[in-house]
A = this chain, B = another copy of it.
Amino acid sequence: MSHTVEILSVGTELLLGNVANTDAQILSQGLSELGLNVFWHTVVGDNPQRAREAVAIAKKRADIILTTGGLGPTCDDLTKNVLAEAFGKKLVFDEPSADRIRNWFQRTGRPMTDNNLQQAMLPEDCTVLPNDWGTAPGCAFEAEGVHVIMLPGPPSECRPMFQYRARPYLLSLSEGVIASHTIKLFGIGESTMEAQLRDQMNAMTNPTLAPYAKEGECELRVTAKASTDEEAQALLQPTVAQVKELFGSKVYGVDVPSLEYAIIQTMREKELTLGTAESCTGGLMAKRLTDIPGASQVFKGGIVSYTNEIKENVLRVPEHLLTQFGAVSKEVAAAMAEGARRVLGCDIALSSTGVAGPDRDDWNNEVGTMFVAIATQEGTYVRALRLGARPMRERLRIQTASHAFDLARRYLAGLPYKD
């Protein structure tokens, strides 16, 4: 049986644009992974009449209604009242939930006002979804052929409540288990990747293969459904192997969060150290590397050399290279990486220099002209990039940093720098 889902979010802050509806995004990802079809997102404010009308519409077209928000005491528990009413249910006082709420306030040392216990009023005969991340419990029930699941709105509560409460409930609706692996690629465009796989993807039913793209990287998610996890893994393995074979050195990992994470992890295992010398990326490489907890075991530091003076004085780039080739050149990229390796005393150094825009540089290099380099004990390699002027400044910088990381992961894996 193929389920159709509507995500109904309740919250005036969404309609005012104070926040983006990231709950709907996260839930949509999770639901899609379970093989459930999300066909509608709806947002209404803290308004009973419009909420009632939205529920009436959802009830007619979806067989799973997943709500977020409107559960707390400040909004009069709008969502629970409206959903219970729509399905002819009473709200009843749930003593275990009241206890949890009282305990929560005790533990966090905050005074509890009486309206907080309203949160323990739940639709009769529902499955209570205990909230370990806040005060408002969620709940789930089935009525008139529709499954209703209500989750709190704050993303820090909504995400774990979906993962640990709603997901198991939804899994019990579907038979068997769902497992997935994510294959991460760099150096291939989404459209090229899709073109190579489209026929195969369309022909697959279990496992399925879904492409995603963001910020110059691509990923392929392979998802299988089976009665046990072992069976699901057995279904996944041939496809994972086949995709890895097909895209070869463009695959940088399976189930790893990012290129920089993959580098830090490998270098930690190999006990190698890393440093950076950045011009056009202006600190972004260092920032991305140090976003990773524990990066300090690998990353020694970096130099952001936004002027020629600093390239010369701190990175020891020979002056004649700067005057002969200009700061945006393969010669300077190489000298920056080599300089950083010496000055920072690290095993591997990465560098970037280029024109991130909005204007051409003094040497009339076009926006998007970028060089990234790697210096190791085995030598130095420079990759020249023409990223074009169309991406925004922020995006050009992200892609350039990723290309530098790609050189490091290729070096670490013993792969050629260029396919």
Chain B residues near A28: list those with CB within 8 A. Answer: 14-17
Scoring A16, A29, A31 by chain B CB atoms within 10 A of each residue's CB, the highest score goes to A16
- Cβ distance A214 to chain B, nearest Cβ, rounded Å: 8
A241 at the interface (CB under 8 A from B): no
A201 at the interface (CB under 8 A from B): no
Q: Are A313 and B43 in contact (CB under 8 A)?
A: no
A19 at the interface (CB under 8 A from B): yes
Chain B residues near A303: list those with CB within 8 A. Answer: 301-304, 314
- Cβ distance A275 to chain B, nearest Cβ, rounded Å: 8
Q: Are B39 and A392 in contact (CB under 8 A)?
A: no
Q: Are B293 and A283 in contact (CB under 8 A)?
A: no
Assuming A14-B28, A17-B26, A21-B20, is B306 touching A290 (CB within 8 A)?
A: yes
A18 at the interface (CB under 8 A from B): yes
Q: Are B19 and A25 in contact (CB under 8 A)?
A: yes
A360 at the interface (CB under 8 A from B): no
A345 at the interface (CB under 8 A from B): yes
- CB-based nearest B residue for A283: B286
Q: Scoring A residues 27 to 71 as 1 if CB is less than 8 Å from chain B, else 0, what string do you get? A: 111111000001111111101001001100100010000000000
Q: Are B17 and A27 in contact (CB under 8 A)?
A: yes
Q: Scoring A residues 141 to 156 as 1 if CB is less than 8 Å from chain B, else 0, what string do you get? A: 0000000000000001
Complex CA–CA separation, A26 to B21 (angstroms): 11
Q: Scoring A residues 361 to 395 as 1 if CB is less than 8 Å from chain B, else 0, what string do you get? A: 00000000000000000000000000000101110
Chain B residues near A39: list those with CB within 8 A. Answer: 15, 44-45, 47, 50
- Selected from B17, B29, B301, the residue in CB contact (under 8 A) with A25 is B17
A287 at the interface (CB under 8 A from B): yes
Scoring A295, A306, A314 by chain B CB atoms within 10 A of each residue's CB, the highest score goes to A306
- CB-based nearest B residue for A18: B212
- Cβ distance A276 to chain B, nearest Cβ, rounded Å: 7
Chain B residues near A343: list those with CB within 8 A. Answer: 313-314
Chain B residues near A244: list those with CB within 8 A. Answer: none
Assuming A39-B44, A41-B21, is B289 touching A300 (CB within 8 A)?
A: no
Q: Are A16 and B40 in contact (CB under 8 A)?
A: no
Assuming A41-B21, A43-B41, A314-B301, is B296 touching A286 (CB within 8 A)?
A: no
A:296-334 near B, CB below 8 Å: 296, 299-307, 309-310, 313-314
Complex CA–CA separation, A282 to B31 (angstroms): 36
Complex CA–CA separation, A16 to B30 (angstroms): 9
Q: Scoring A residues 266 to 300 as 1 if CB is less than 8 Å from chain B, else 0, what string do you get? A: 00000000001010011111110111010110011
Q: Are B293 and A282 in contact (CB under 8 A)?
A: no
Q: Are A25 and B32 in contact (CB under 8 A)?
A: no
- Cβ distance A27 to chain B, nearest Cβ, rounded Å: 7
- CB-based nearest B residue for A42: B42
Chain B residues near A18: list those with CB within 8 A. Answer: 29, 212
- CB-based nearest B residue for A210: B16
Which 5 A-B pairs give the minimum distances between C-beta atoms?
Answer: A282-B290, A283-B286, A17-B28, A17-B29, A41-B43
Q: Which residues of A contact B (CB under 8 A)?
A: 9, 14-22, 24-32, 38-45, 47, 50, 53-54, 57, 61, 108, 156, 210, 212, 276, 278, 281-287, 289-291, 293, 295-296, 299-307, 309-310, 313-314, 343-345, 357-358, 390, 392-394, 397
